[in-house]
Amino acid sequence: MATSCNNLNPNLISEVVGEDVLHDNNGDVERPIGRKAEKAKRKRIERPSEDVMVFMKKKTKILEETCVQGEEFINLERKKLRLDQLDQEHRHCIEEEKLNIEKKKFQLQELDREDKLLKWEEEIMLIDTSGMSMVQRINANWKSLKSENQAASHQFLKKLCL
């Protein structure tokens, strides 16, 4: 009796062979892992793949570049702070110089006022009073005394202000 495998009843086959047959829905039979497969699996776990190595190298390179850029940034910030400090010191020196110039300008103005006052007093003193009457002389002396008092009070106030 020659029958093909296609015509056989699956129940018959299991009865003939026995209960030692494994049945899957897919029809695939699982094999235990062999020595070569187990060794390859260990190598994959122990040694990362080339893609991972390339990624790690790139990541390391980027981290090193970032570190260098961070150091450069810190150095630039330090330089900026030093320049700002120098700029503030320079501004302070300029302000002091401006104050000194204003002080000298004020002193020159005061000297100019005193010079004008002395010239005016000299003009008063040079007035010839011999041809004047007594009333005119008294008025001229009065004006001269008045101007001297104004000059003295002016100098006194100037000393108080300084």
pLDDT tens column, 72-81: 999 999 999 9
Position 141 in a domain: yes
Q: Domain count of the chain?
A: 1
User: Low-confidence residues of the chain, pLDDT below 70?
Assistant: 1-33, 43-49, 129, 141, 147-149, 151-162
Position 150 in a domain: yes
- pTM, two decimal places: 0.37
Identify whether the C-beta of residue 110 lies closer than 8 Å to the C-beta of residue 158: yes
Position 152 in a domain: yes
Position 158 in a domain: yes
Identify whether the C-beta of residue 132 lies closer than 8 Å to the C-beta of residue 140: yes
Position 136 in a domain: yes
Position 156 in a domain: yes
Identify the domain containing residue 142 by its residue range. Answer: 127-162
Could you give phi then psi for residue 105, rounded to 5 degrees? -60, -45
Position 33 in a domain: no
pLDDT for 44 equals 66
Position 99 in a domain: no
pLDDT for 83 equals 94
